């Protein structure tokens, strides 16, 4: 990872805080798309860290994400019907990422710093509109160069590192 890359500080901060790991062989893989399992794991780490808990390790013969998944279900972040195990290896959309991660952090950590925001490609009344607008108001995300959220598209590890740092209070909000 080049030190001059826009995401380098975010990736380093997220790793130092124990929120994100590399993808093996000392690689961060910034353009790699996050899977639903990775988003679930990030949610478990955020929630557990805020509660002073530890995410349980996965059991023998279980997929690597199973401890985090069970932690999220047991903590009431989501139900198995909302996030089925069969979806874990699918690429995560931006909508899935905000929906799952938003549940892991108390509302007090998502206080608005902007009073009037516009998300050009999403109505506030649309599915996921409430959470996306909350994140824009809180300065957790600001969308692409045109302000669009692009919710149905996949999210990269670099983008997630930046958002995760802001959400966890490890970086200045935008």
**pLDDT value at position 132?**
98
Tens of pLDDT, residues 7-25: 999 999 988 888 887 776 6
What integer pLDDT is reported at residue 25 of this predicted model? Answer: 67
Q: Domain segments of the chain: what residues?
A: 30-167
Query: What is the reported pTM?
Result: 0.91
Query: What are the residue ranges in the chain where pLDDT is below 70?
Result: 24-25
SS3 of the chain: the string is: CCCCCCCHHHHHHHHHCCCCCCCECCECCCCCECEHHHHHHHHHHHHHHHHCCCCCCCCCCCCCCHHHHHHHHHHCCCCCCCCCHHHCCCECEHHHHHHHHHHCCCHHHHCCCCCCCCCCCCCCCCCCHHHHHHHHHHCCCCCCCCCCCCCCCECEHHHHHHHHHHHCCCCCCC
């Amino acid at each position: 990872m080049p030190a001059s890359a826009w995401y380098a500080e975010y990736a380093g901060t997220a790793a130092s805080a124990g929120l994100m790991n590399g993808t093996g062989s000392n690689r961060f893989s910034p353009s790699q798309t996050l899977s639903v399992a990775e988003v679930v794991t990030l949610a478990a780490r955020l929630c557990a860290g805020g509660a002073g808990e530890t995410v349980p390790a996965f059991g023998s013969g279980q997929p690597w994400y199973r401890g985090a998944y069970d932690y999220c279900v047991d903590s009431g972040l989501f139900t198995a019907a909302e996030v089925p195990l069969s979806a874990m290896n699918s690429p995560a959309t931006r909508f899935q990422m905000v929906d799952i991660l938003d549940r892991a952090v108390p509302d007090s950590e998502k206080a608005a710093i902007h009073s009037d925001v516009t998300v050009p490609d999403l109505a506030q009344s649309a599915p996921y509109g409430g959470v996306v607008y909350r994140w824009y108001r809180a300065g957790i995300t600001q969308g692409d160069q045109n302000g669009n959220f692009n919710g149905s598209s996949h999210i990269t590890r670099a983008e997630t590192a930046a958002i995760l740092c802001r959400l966890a209070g490890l970086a200045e909000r935008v």
